[in-house]
Structure 1
């Protein structure tokens, strides 16, 4: 029955999906020295006055199809461009240079497919824009239309169509005149462009250095005095370009959203990056020899915000506060015109959250409550084709707003800002081994100096431990629902079409349902059916840096102590109780009451009755102790200090715990008896031969209640009536001892 429904659904065309999206959107309801200066003097501090024989490049764009910041309307394109105009006015020979990702991803981008941004950018003095991957989010035909509607050139040197010609509507490079100098500009995008966006498979992507050298040589032959790359490649590629490409004077912008406190000069090439959207305006001044003459950064801040420490450290960095920046009148009008209709339809409260929802870039590194909420909602897509969905996942890069929401009312606009991509939810049928392989494929292990080790997805219906070190990266103790994963069994798996198509694992699985539903509208529709949500983190993804020997057990009448070896890679173990917890296979956990470190061992004490209740709450509970420690930097041997992942202030270790020994002590009433038995770490679904300890079938708690919980139990848990509160009963906040930072630690656009 499910397959017949899926077959009928697969006959839908892309146009059908597009019409579905538009119908939905049409109907949905629901203190440094700089800071102490007066506003005029602060603006003057950012002056980039130059003389003839130099050129000032004010950069960049990277606006993601937004007119305002997702979390602060005061940070807007209208104010940003006012600052750009001030910097251009102070420069005798200024050029405004963009680096792409200007059409999407955002709610406006999803609705208008970049048309709104072309009108806005045509109004500005943008001299040239480098192509980014999100220009192609709506397909090559839409991208070409937008390029051709633009009154400025789009450049990209390493994209060619199937005939070897420039991408329609773009140029590979161009020249501009300023201050008596001829400035050559070319664009550059990621070599894995096909996997980043909707780029035709038959079109070409050239290697970075090859395309860049061809561009530089051609521009020099055309008389360019200065040659600049408007980059949309990752920060790490820039040093390679600087070292390998002869005659390249400067690289501005990037794909990574990194913000420099000072410029880098590598083999004579200036590298300058100022993040994305509306927080920073940058300017570099080059002389006729292409050498750096000046560099400036202006930070746009809300009135109650503190300047970055770099403002005090560097004279070249200044601050402008939004309440002292007059918005550009025309851009403000355009924003009102394009946003007005959508805000009327989507700006109303859709549901209420009792907790703050974390849709920041923490979603790359840790399990978040927003990730749990949205992936639980995604599993309801199976109702369209009468398919019961076992597992759902979403790539962290698909969660885009980098903001938090609530507690309080959450609007449709909020949800669409979080999930702005035109990604259709598909359901595939995958074997247990394919599920394991996909979880490992998604990992981003060390060495990763920019963002640290990351699971890089959010999940529902599955839980697992993950290790993120290059020589030992992988997953183990994988559970689907409450049961160990069976590598030979099949599971229904909901994900977005972008991730499935770009996964070597899931792209081989059979599609059993094409829903015709984009993620943002569908998740919003599901959440509108609830009055209140209060999602928590539930131990769905647990980081493990080291596994130590099984914990020994001792107890008295009121307390039970687990003694585990100190990890080999530890400089110091944590001693606060909040850094330790015991977890069973359902994800339920218990926090320690006290901790002491004794030489090579750490003693972790729990309330005996509570730990006993947890151990007997389900058959074969797969009891594990997790704890935190500060890593010995020399032991790990990285070229940077770890941990450096958002949401983690320590490494994590695991010690298996013998549940039978815990229960035995409770049943025979022993007092100080030491249980020397060692837990069998079954490593269910470790990706090996599947011969790990069978941790048993789903059991029942002592009172006979159902063990299932929202997100792991029946799909009804996420598709209940609109009057029911959507409350979670499991988990506690951060990973053991983790400080879930609000810092945007990862801004990779994938």
Structure 2
């Protein structure tokens, strides 16, 4: 007997490409069967263009088509506020698992928020959307008793401004309790459905689990951590994992993993047509520019220094606000197909598919230097050492990666004066999070502009779309 898990995660803007999401649906339906459960591990309703238009409801036809069994919450599943999330949970076919997402109590609200209290309260609060969610379940799958539970990163409060009315208990202790409950209920094997990212390793060691189906971090991974197999399928619906679970007579669990590329699957035309219809109803096909030289939108373009797509976004912010400097955080630039040929509103929205406005801050030169220093991956709480996390306009930086410091920072060609005042245009999100550019806070913000993608569209209409590499970010080593 073999139980199979079909795992996908972080589908995000794959919905904006009807063929791509259709192929993922075709892959999952082709692999499905009585011996399988279909499991998502978060960020499968947002972000994306259609997500902005439908507030996540565009995902429902996909969930129905693939006969989704389980999911857990990603940070972006709260992009439109907890009330919208509750409605999505109630209307979707799968069981949403959460052992650590909680409702905010009246006492917490009167205290002015949740913050670290909920991350250390041991999970004593009421479970989020408790009528439609479960902390854990045990399911008989082809004669094998499989326990599953869900956990979400407690950083969600600080990386998603719309999630501040939700509380998060410590996911590791919550996962330990849920795994033990699954074992007590007779589970032969236990599966963590996790949107923790890099904390998956800690969960795999602490909790009595055989498999961690992970998400949040967009790089693919298949590895063994302690006694558990840890998986993350990456982003945008390109990959799904088939996990085979076998239990021998001594209760030992064998885990085999097969990687499947959605691009090789037949298109599920029902799902593809549903996305096409949603795009047509949203009237997103207006052409705002024409691109002769395709503009790459890869992980490398976002995180490895200066790129044409990053320059486009930062230039648009500075153009729209008249600020001295434009800055776009790399994590906000979403991966996708290159911008080429006729570029539509939908294409532009997919670059930064959020409802955040562009904001303007006033900074001293010293504060501007501190902000740019925090762009180096080694200085990010979730970064990798070779990341660069800032796309710039109106400024150039020379960075010493060995010494982790600025060699030269110029604005409009002049070296930055520590005592002078500079204006900086960026996404308003950065004033609400401590995880990226913590030197920026709401005391620096002096103005709010239009929503990001509207700024990009206006810039493209007015100026065309042909960004160039200009040496805005350079390395001294």
TM-score (norm: length of structure 2):
0.87
Q: 1:399 Cα shift?
A: 0.9
1:359 corresponds to which of 277, 297, 304: 297
| CA-to-aligned-CA distance 1:681-730 (integer Å, 9 cap, x gap) | xxxxxxxxxxxxxxxxxxxxxxxxxxxxxxxxxxxxxxxxxxxxxxxxxx
2:53 corresponding residue in structure 1: 111
Aligned CA distance change for structure 1 residues 333 and 207 (closer, same or farther; 3 Å)? same
CA distance in 1, matches of 2:4, 2:460: 49
Instruction: Give the match's secondary structure for 1:66.
Output: helix
- Matched positions, count: 449
| CA-to-aligned-CA distance 1:303-328 (integer Å, 9 cap, x gap) | xxxxxxxxxxxxxxxxx3x5xx2x32
1:370 corresponding residue in structure 2: 309
Q: 1:449 Cα shift?
A: 12
- Structure ID, larger Rg: 1
CA distance in 2, matches of 1:159, 1:372: 37
2:241 corresponds to which of 272, 282, 285: 282
2:128 corresponding residue in structure 1: 167
Instruction: Give the match's secondary structure for 2:133.
Output: coil
Partners of 2:61 and 2:271 within 8 A in 1:
no
2:113 corresponding residue in structure 1: none
Structure 2 residue 125 is the aligned partner of structure 1 residue 176? no
CA distance in 1, matches of 2:429, 2:196: 20
Q: 1:300 Cα shift?
A: 3.3
1:534 corresponds to which of 461, 466, 470: 466
Tell me whether 151-160 or 391-400 shows the greater mean CA deviation: 151-160
Write the mapping of 1:172-321 to structure 2, written as runs, cut at 5 A: 172-201=135-164, 203-234=166-197, 236-245=198-207, 247-260=208-221, 263-288=222-247, 289=251, 291-301=253-263, 320=264
1:678 corresponding residue in structure 2: none
2:70 corresponding residue in structure 1: 128
2:334 corresponds to which of 400, 417, 428: 400
Partners of 1:136 and 1:198 within 8 A in 2:
no
| CA-to-aligned-CA distance 1:226-276 (integer Å, 9 cap, x gap) | 210112122x4333322222x21111132223334xx53333212233223
Partners of 1:447 and 1:453 within 8 A in 2:
no
Write the mapping of 1:595-606 to structure 2, written as runs, cut at 5 A: none
Instruction: Give the match's secondary structure for 2:32.
Output: helix
Q: 1:526 Cα shift?
A: 1.9
Partners of 2:158 and 2:164 within 8 A in 1:
no
| CA-to-aligned-CA distance 1:412-460 (integer Å, 9 cap, x gap) | 2211111211111111111111111111122212899995422211111
Structure 2 residue 298 is the aligned partner of structure 1 residue 335? no
2:409 corresponds to which of 456, 473, 478: 478
2:100 corresponds to which of 130, 155, 158: 158
Unaligned runs of 5+ in 1: 1-50, 302-319, 383-387, 545-652, 654-750
Q: 1:99 Cα shift?
A: 0.8
Structure 2 residue 290 is the aligned partner of structure 1 residue 347? no
2:118 corresponding residue in structure 1: none
Partners of 2:8 and 2:237 within 8 A in 1:
no
TM-score (norm: length of structure 1):
0.57
Aligned CA distance change for structure 1 residues 449 and 498 (closer, same or farther; 3 Å)? closer
Write the mapping of 1:400-419 to structure 2, written as runs, cut at 5 A: 400-406=334-340, 408-419=341-352
CA distance in 2, matches of 1:198, 1:147: 20
Write the mapping of 1:31-110 to structure 2, written as runs, cut at 5 A: 51=1, 54-67=2-15, 69=17, 74=19, 76-89=20-33, 92-110=34-52
Aligned CA distance change for structure 1 residues 346 and 162 (closer, same or farther; 3 Å)? closer
Partners of 1:128 and 1:153 within 8 A in 2:
yes
Aligned CA distance change for structure 1 residues 444 and 119 (closer, same or farther; 3 Å)? same
Instruction: Give the match's secondary structure for 1:166.
Output: coil
CA distance in 1, matches of 2:189, 2:335: 36
Partners of 2:16 and 2:48 within 8 A in 1:
no
Structure 2 residue 446 is the aligned partner of structure 1 residue 512? yes
Q: 1:478 Cα shift?
A: 1.1
Instruction: Give the match's secondary structure for 1:103.
Output: coil
CA distance in 1, matches of 2:372, 2:83: 34
2:111 corresponding residue in structure 1: none
Aligned CA distance change for structure 1 residues 493 and 150 (closer, same or farther; 3 Å)? same
- Flag as ranges the 4+ runs of structure 1 deviating above 4 A: 446-452
Q: 1:200 Cα shift?
A: 4.0
Instruction: Give the match's secondary structure for 2:161.
Output: coil
CA distance in 2, matches of 1:482, 1:264: 47
The structure where helix makes up a greater share of residues is: 2
Partners of 1:59 and 1:253 within 8 A in 2:
no
Write the mapping of 1:619-658 to structure 2, written as runs, cut at 5 A: 653=477
CA distance in 1, matches of 2:196, 2:414: 42
CA distance in 1, matches of 2:202, 2:377: 22
Aligned CA distance change for structure 1 residues 409 and 78 (closer, same or farther; 3 Å)? closer
Partners of 2:161 and 2:432 within 8 A in 1:
no
Instruction: Give the match's secondary structure for 1:295.
Output: strand
Q: 1:196 Cα shift?
A: 2.1
Instruction: Give the match's secondary structure for 2:12.
Output: coil
| CA-to-aligned-CA distance 1:148-186 (integer Å, 9 cap, x gap) | 222221122222233311122533223323223332211
Instruction: Give the match's secondary structure for 1:445.
Output: helix
Q: 1:124 Cα shift?
A: 2.8
Partners of 1:249 and 1:290 within 8 A in 2:
no
* Greater relative CO, 1 or 2 (CA 8 Å, sep 6+): 2
Partners of 1:284 and 1:292 within 8 A in 2:
no
